[in-house]
Structure 1
Amino acid sequence: MIDKLEFFITVAKERSFSRAAELCGVTQPTLSAGIKQLEDMLGVLLVNRSSRFHGLTAEGERVLVWAKRIVADARAMRLEVRNLREGLSGQLKIAVIPTAVGILSALAGPYLEKHPGVRFKALSASSSEILTMMDNLDIDAGLTYLDNEPLGRVRSTPLYAERYRLLTVAGNPLADRETVTWADVGSIPLCLLTPDMQNRRIVEALVGEAGGAIEPVMESNSVLLLFEQVKAGRWATIMPEKLAETLGIGGALRSIPIIAPEAVHQIGLVVPNRDPMIPQVAALLAEAKRLAPLLVQKG
């Protein structure tokens, strides 16, 4: 039963029988037969298809919700039984928005010291991608924004407040200022994250509220690439304070607070809203709660 539900979830995600079969490690006839057996068991058609995938039926959409829940619970049960015997082990998959990558080590380091049998797999993703991956059971947790856009059915733990800085070098426009406004930064050449990133949408909204408009000369989904462009003296960028500290400010590089108004957004850990929780995830949530007050004190 569980393997057939996993087949169905993968087909729904990939929208292709051939790709789903490859990911599940079975032949396409085996996968198709498994889904047909699931349909026969439930007495409904789940997938609109001929020789190709044409989407889920209305019944299929509802079954997909239950399938994800059942498969997630089955995985949690297997992990809990194994952990009772061996202690925490296996792989913990976490996705992180680019602007929060500097906090991952503060969370993962102490966690791995306490649970050396666990291996971390960390991915960089946008906030919307993190929620989609969590819903599809592709990740166990995420580091993302908590208060700017809807999160859906997840458990969240705030870690720190994201405040913003203009990152530039001496000689560039505004580089001699002690503080700048959002109207100021909207008037100079900027390199920014791509529009699919929530940080970019936050920046655009703040500059827009100040009466300006963002027209970046360069876009990237990599904060490191943006940082290198600024260091080279080409353009300025807008970067969260903690990330700028992590990357290192020195020499001609300047990190200037953006005020009027000072914008703040919450960054935190999100995990599936599931009970019982996978032990590895429960331990990560506990570590996040331990870390949060330390980040506030540091801030």
Structure 2
Amino acid sequence: MFLRQLTYLIALDQCRHFSRAAESCGVSQPALSAGIRQLENELGITIIQRNRRFYGLTEEGKRVLLWARQTLAALDGLKQEAAFAQDIAGGSLSIGVMPPAIQVVPLMLESFRAAVPALHVEVKVYSSTEITRMLREHHLQMGILYLDQLQADGAFEAQALYAEQHVLAAAASVQLPAGKHCSWADIASLPLCLLSRNMRSRQLVDAGFREADVTPTVMLETDALELLHAELLGGRLASILPVAALPERVGLSGLQVRRISGCASPDVGLVRLAQPNTSMLLMRLWDVAKTLSLADIYTV
């Protein structure tokens, strides 16, 4: 017994005509008639009252029709459940994140997994430019990057997560300017460790020094956030980092920070490729991301 035979029977009952039923099923009339006869032979009963025309269902046929409807309804429910399980209860997500925002990911994943408990996530660290390229090529499904790096060609959907705030950071053993704020000139005299020049965060810092017409004392440049953290916590060098990229140990027993006057604050956001057909999983996670409130977390 094939599912299509049950479909033929339901269509025949609805159309009350062999040709119209065959047309609704996308098959020829002989194929539909043969399918019904095969079903009758397999069940050993007569289902259709017929001569050359359709005269209705036998009593046995009516019971088979009821069973056929229940079977196809159950199958449709099974298909929906399978799609739900694949796309919502579990599923996989690939995210690209720029280095200064890497510490945002655990907070986001906590919210994602609350909505999708069995979610499997692959996180890769790239520059903003690389993330947009890999989104276009479908290597990534979402990215966390500077929104001003997106081209205005309508290829992406984005939602801002927070406005990035850069701060001067150093261990308690390092003497920093008094007060809560400092200038680029104040920072220039300190021995610094900074992110690499190819990174957007560093380019914003360099722009601040240029506009202030001062030259910083850079002792270390790296694209490894862990190395900057080690230098900061070891009390060897100061750094300029986004609040989102600071180590957790900030305060009296950890790092001291100063706000920087006249520093750009670009929006950091979640980005996905704009496309007409989006999976249930991505739609669900996108809605979850809209509820995130990160602005207060990454501001000092």
Distance 1:171 1:280, change over 3 A: same
Asked if the contact 1:170/1:176 (under 8 Å) is kept, the reply is no
SS at match of 2:169: strand
User: In the alignment, which residue of structure 1 is the partner of 2:294?
Assistant: 295
**Structure-1 separation of matches of 2:248 and 2:107:** 11
Asked if structure 2 preserves the Cα contact closer than 8 Å seen for 1:187 and 1:212, the reply is no
Contact 1:126 1:197 in 2 (8 A): yes
Alpha-carbon distance between aligned partners in 1 of 2:219 and 2:130, rounded to the nearest angstrom: 25
CA distance in 1, matches of 2:279, 2:216: 43
Structure 2 counterpart of 1:90, one-letter code: G
Letter in 1 for 2:101: A
Q: How does 1:1-299 map to 2 (within 5 A)?
A: 83-84=83-84, 86-88=86-88, 89-147=90-148, 150=151, 153-174=155-176, 176-214=178-216, 216-244=218-246, 246=248, 248-251=250-253, 253-259=255-261, 261-291=262-292, 294-296=293-295, 298=297, 299=299
- What is the identity, as a one-letter code, of the residue corresponding to 1:221? D
**Distance in 2, Cα, partners of 1:230 & 1:213:** 21
Deviation at 1:230, TM superposition (A): 1.1
Q: Which deviations, in whole Å up to 9, do the C-alpha atoms of 1:235-277 show, x marking residues without a partner? A: 1111112332645444252111111x14311111000111122
Q: Which amino acid aligns with 1:195?
A: R
Tell me how far 1:198 sits from its aligned partner: 0.8
- Whether the 8 Å contact between 1:182 and 1:258 is mirrored in structure 2 is yes
Q: Displacement, 1:151?
A: 6.7
Q: Structure 2 regions of 5+ residues with no counterpart?
A: 1-79
Question: CA–CA distance in 2 between the matches of 1:151 and 1:190?
Answer: 35
Cα deviation, residue 214, structure 1: 4.5
| Aligned residue type for 1:296 | A
140-149 or 154-163, which deviates more:
140-149
Q: CA deviation at 1:184?
A: 2.2
Contact 1:164 1:257 in 2 (8 A): yes
**Cα pair distance change 1:83/1:249, threshold 3 Å:** farther
Q: For residues 119 and 225 of structure 2, what CA distance do their matches in structure 1 show?
A: 28
Q: Aligned partners of 2:149, 2:188: CA distance in 1, in Å?
A: 21
TM-superposed CA distance for 1:174, in Å, is 2.5
Paired residue secondary structure (1:224): helix
- Contact 2:250/2:256, CA 8 A, preserved across alignment: no
- Alignment-mate amino acid for residue 162 of structure 1: E
Change over 3 Å in CA distance of 1:297–1:189 after alignment to 2: closer
Q: Distance in 2 between matches of 1:115 and 1:197?
A: 33
Taking structure 2 as the reference length, the TM-score comes to: 0.65
* 1:175 and 1:254 in contact (8 A); partners too: no
Aligned length: 217
In our comparison, the structure showing a higher alpha carbon Rg is: 2
1-side partners of 2:247 and 2:235: how far apart? 18
Deviations 1:32-76, CA, capped at 9 Å, x for gaps: xxxxxxxxxxxxxxxxxxxxxxxxxxxxxxxxxxxxxxxxxxxxx
Give the structure-1-normalised TM-score.
0.65
Distance change (3 Å), C-alpha of 1:252 and 1:290 = closer
3-state DSSP of counterpart to 2:205? helix
Q: What amino acid sits opposite 1:204 in the alignment? A: D
Partner Cα separation in structure 2 for residue 133 and residue 188 of structure 1: 38
CA contact (8 A) 2:171 2:255 kept: yes
Judged with a 3 Å threshold, the aligned counterparts in structure 2 of structure 1 residues 86 and 170 are, in CA distance, closer, same or farther, namely closer
Deviations 1:199-233 (A, max 9, x none): 01111111111112345211111212101101111
Contact conserved, 1:180 with 1:258, CA < 8 A, in 2? Answer: yes
Cα RMSD (Å): 2.4
In the alignment, the residues of structure 2 paired with residue 85 and residue 163 of structure 1 have an alpha-carbon distance, to the nearest angstrom, of: 40
Query: Which amino acid is 1:202 matched to?
Result: L
Offset, 1:81: 9.8
* Contact kept? 1:97, 1:127, Cα under 8 Å: yes
User: Could you tell me which residue of structure 2 aligns to residue 22 of structure 1?
Assistant: none
**1:98 and 1:126 in contact (8 A); partners too:** yes
